[in-house]
Amino acid sequence: MQGQVTPAFDAGISIVKYDGFLASGAASLTPSVRWDHPRGRGHVSARGSYLRFESGNRSLDLSTSGSWFTPLARHWRGELGIAAGASDYASVVSFSHGLAEARIHLIDAGRGGWISATVGRASFGAGPRPVGVVAMGVWLLRTDLTMFASLDRSFIGDTAYSDLRSSARLERGGLLFEGTLGARLLSRGGGRGVYGEATTTLPIGTRTAFVVSAGAYPTDAISGSLAARYLTVGLRLGTIGPRRPAPRAFPGRVFPSGGANGSVIASPAETRLEIRVGEDEAVRLTVYAPGAMAVEISGDFTDWQPVPLSRRPTNGDAWEASFRIPRGIHRINVRRDGGRWMAPAGTTRSADDYDGEVGIFLLP
């Protein structure tokens, strides 16, 4: 089980104004890494952040988290997660926290919702305080747009507050736009008001991107962050999608599987996969399924959520949809007319975690 590892490294310059303090310039370094299970069963991530302020003081923050998902049962899926972190400012003020979360997801084609409960401890000053959070949310997924909305209630010792948030992620013409708008309500010791953040990411190379972020965020009594306004301009090094000069089509590239002969899968011809990359880097997946009334796909790029394909008006045997898929090795399965999931022709056979098979293709 190899999974997919996604590292990144951000370096930038920021202007930060914490509540109750004057604005200050800072240089920041932020390394991060994420590992995703090859079948979407879980992920683990770690992140560090180092800020050096113009006053000479420094801030250090470290955090890690992980989640494990149960297999999808009809439209339901469970999730167990853990998170821990610590921060230190000028070797004077320190925070730490440890959390455990249980979440239940309701998933449909391109949309879903969830409810969760979190318990743990957060430490600052006199000693640890109990943490409890209840939350619920909904999401909507389109080809290049993802939208979320959530409501949560947090209890940290004697502090309590509620946050109502909405966020969106849009990919258009090689640019990635991300934004959050929220409001803190019913607060006791956690502040209140409206806040928002926005980030624009512009790829300038195969593994480099220019990033601009700005906004305001509220106090987080769990992690110990103080409410602030900020503007950051930086450079990101990591897994950035390549910029291609022209559209081109190609079949699923052969990637050797763990089978005895590493042969390409011999799935029925009526479920053949074709992959086409457009000028805007959108990846169009087409499944040829003669006689099918409905075709769905699921893969690591959909978090293994079933996504229905649309029938091509000019060819009733072709079913297609566009996705934003990073280059590299990916896994996919196809289902027609509500039948069993199978690896499409044109991909390579590989055993999955459920004693079945999954198709593997390489996006160069």
Q: Residues near 226 by Cβ (< 8 Å), separated by ≥ 6?
A: 18, 19, 219
C-alpha distances (whole Å) from 205 to each of 220, 232, 248 are 35, 20, 20
CA 329 to each of CA 187, 242, 271, 299, 302: distance values in angstroms, whole numbers, following the listed order: 46, 14, 20, 11, 14
Separation between Cα atoms, residue 270 and residue 309, nearest integer Å: 15
With cut-offs at 50, 70 and 90, classify the pLDDT of residue 280.
Answer: low
Question: How many whole angstroms from its chain centre is CA 203?
Answer: 18
Indicate if 14 and 138 belong to the same structural domain. Answer: yes
**Residue 101 resides in a domain:** yes
188 and 298 part of one domain:
no
Co-location of 62 and 110 in the same domain: yes
Mean per-residue pLDDT, 75-102: 89
Contacts of residue 245, Cβ cutoff 8 Å, sequence gap at least 6: none
Domains of the chain: total: 2
Residue 243 maps to a domain: no
User: What pLDDT, in 10s, does the model give residues 199-238?
Assistant: 999 988 767 889 999 999 998 989 888 889 999 999 988 7
Residue type at position 44: V
pLDDT mean over 53-69 = 90
Look up residue 100 and give its amino acid. A
pLDDT tier at 244, thresholds 50, 70, 90: very low
pTM to 2 decimals? 0.65
- Residue 262 is predicted with a pLDDT of 33
Query: pLDDT value at position 143?
Result: 60
Residue ranges making up the domain that contains 130:
4-238
Amino acid 350: pLDDT: 67
Are 154 and 276 found together in one domain? no
CATH number at residue 327: 2.60.40.10
Are 218 and 335 part of one and the same domain?
Answer: no
Q: Which of 172, 203, 238 is the last residue of a domain?
A: 238
Structure tokens at 219: 């106090």
Whichever domain contains 113, its CATH number is 2.40.160.10
